[in-house]
Amino acid sequence: MAFQWFLEQVIGNDVRFAIAGTDGCPMKSVVRRIGQQLFAALSGKGLAMLVNHGIADEKLKAVYADLDNLCALPEGCKAQYLRNPVSNHGYVQPGMEQFDTTKQELRHSYNITSLSAAAFPAQEDVPQFPQHAVPLAHDLTNLSRLPPATLLGCHAGMLRSEGGNASSMRLLYYPPVPPEDDERHEHHATYTRCGAHADCCTFTLLAQDSEGGLEVKLNGSEKWQAYVCIHTGQHTLANVDVHYVKLNGSEKWQAVGHLPGAILVQTGELLASWTTNLLPALVHRVVVPSGAYARARARHCVAFFCHPDNDATLPKFPQLPILAPAPPPPIFTPHLTLHHRLLNAAHHLQKRFRETYA
């Protein structure tokens, strides 16, 4: 595959910079250099920062305000805009989607999978919502073609899809957390903003208005215990199975700093699958900040989840050798149907929805 060939060409390059400009790159040498920077960032850290992307901060602030207005509506009014489980469009109130079942996740979100004005809340409830969201969705759709095109060394126009796919835009609002002297604070010991997970897409574009607790798991920081099981029979040779169990609390997390105006690129499960984990899926979470000032601030984000066409198949990772030196299993393993055929992208997405939505 061309993608695999391109990755093989840039592997091993010593590129230090993870911030890649995207504003006007007419020369192939510039595109290639940015592609090398992007690959180095995604393969080493799982994320990169895009600057000079052309999306005005005012567009982001407008949809942040729209989501605030939606969250401020009476519960009965918001209920009519709840997420449709078939289309994945609509409002997701706290508790509807859980990544960490041991904690309550303080998060409001609004999924946008349709750009029809009829799919948005009524104008009298959230004025100008589609007028703000639709242009931003178009901008992010165009921007989403740049990372894969840069990695492939091709023009972004070659990546236009003619088929259906599940790409979507999500608006996120994390409310402030009461200060430590608030009588409600004792209940927040079991709260978080978003549990640890990897996105079930190829990659995600993420814009945020502040730091607000975003953390990423450092690749390879987990510690694994290997268990060797030897099966013997009276008339058969011994069979050896090796099972790896992750030690709880062994992974290390790093806070993601905030660069005003930058958009994060985060690798997802499908990109990890297609590159045989050369670009591993970024496991991330959003914790409640420790500082009083940060806890008292709300956090807003816009996430654009980039998905392939629904019928794109997911290759299976090669089997790990039994005597490999303590290799952890890959983060993402494609699932098989009853007929042992690989799932396609749509099946994988629906499985993840069943796991996270109540």
Q: Is 57 helix (H, G, I), strand (E, B) or coil?
A: helix
Count of CB atoms situated within 10 Å of the CB of 314:
21
pLDDT in tens, the chain (358 residues): 333 333 333 332 322 223 344 444 445 677 778 888 888 888 888 889 988 899 999 999 999 999 999 999 999 999 999 999 988 899 999 988 888 888 888 899 999 999 999 999 999 999 999 999 999 999 999 898 888 777 776 655 545 555 577 789 999 999 988 766 555 555 556 888 988 888 888 889 999 998 778 998 887 666 555 666 666 555 554 566 665 555 556 688 888 888 899 999 999 888 888 888 888 888 989 998 887 888 888 999 999 998 887 776 665 544 333 333 444 544 444 444 433 345 666 666 666 667 666 6
Domain assignments of the chain as residue spans, ordered by start = 2-356
Nearest CA to 169 among 88, 99, 98?
88
Q: Is 121 helix (H, G, I), strand (E, B) or coil?
A: coil
* CATH of the domain spanning 2-356, picked from 4.10.490.10, 2.60.120.330, 3.40.50.300, 3.10.20.740: 2.60.120.330
User: What is the pTM (predicted TM-score) of this model?
Assistant: 0.75
Distance, in Å, from the CA atom of 273 to the CA atom of 38, rounded to the nearest integer, reads 18
